[in-house]
Amino acid sequence: MSHALFDLSGHRALVTGSSQGIGLALARGLAEAGAAVVLNGRDADRLALAAREIEGASTLPFDVTDHAAARRAIDEFEQAQGAIDILVNNAGMQFRSPLEDFPADAFQRLLQTNIASVFNVGQAVARHMIARGAGRIINIASVQTALARPSIAPYTATKGAVGNLTKGMATDWARHGLNCNAIAPGYFDTPLNAALVADPDFTAWLERRTPAGRWGRVEELVGACVFLASDASSFVNGHVLYVDGGITASL
């Protein structure tokens, strides 16, 4: 009985930004739990390569920062292929610079990629979920949803916004049968963090700062994602689940 709560068989999951890193790991984990997985990104060739790693995966390339393109892609997919039951809004980017020198164009790219994309794809998918009276939306937030660190203030702002937009989604859409939650990863060994992983001073700082004493592995996010995508979390809504080795719990 307990295993059945986490069974995603018969459900379809769209994961944005899933050609590598956290998105690909989450897509793989959802597939292992029984879901039919749809990979998203802007580069169709990279998506096709990623799809080879997951049995039965399909691809849906579109630009998540383009509101009209996102809605068109989702509407056409739903009409041709069927329902998207689970959405994981994972697409994101990072840019590091002291705040006083932060380029305005980089700030705008962060806003579009990290927060506007959550609105764009979330709204497009939710319209179909609302009509069906059911759906799961999982937004990928960050430890920076709660904490700041030098040189990434705009990124911190976008991830704080992801946390609050998640709460807003739950507030508006829970009555329609949707569960809208977020996962907030701590520091994980991903392509986005490659420069930090390669920096021995930063890694030493992170190991001291994190109670678990190490970088996270992307596979360690899968359990949280399957939980929030499944019936096991049927009364969880508007929640930000930190998966961070204890970093937000400790000074």
Candidate list 119, 155, 187, 242, residue with the active-site label: 155
Say how far apart CA 213 and CA 228 lie, in whole Å.
Answer: 26
How far out from the chain centre does Cα 246 lie?
Answer: 20
Identify whether the C-beta of residue 176 lies closer than 8 Å to the C-beta of residue 130. Answer: yes
How would you classify the pairing of strands 240-243 and 178-185? parallel
What token pair was written down for 123? 């709204």
Say how far apart CA 125 and CA 130 lie, in whole Å.
Answer: 9
| Max Cα-Cα span within the chain | 55
155 assigned to active site:
yes
Q: Could you list the active site residues?
A: 155
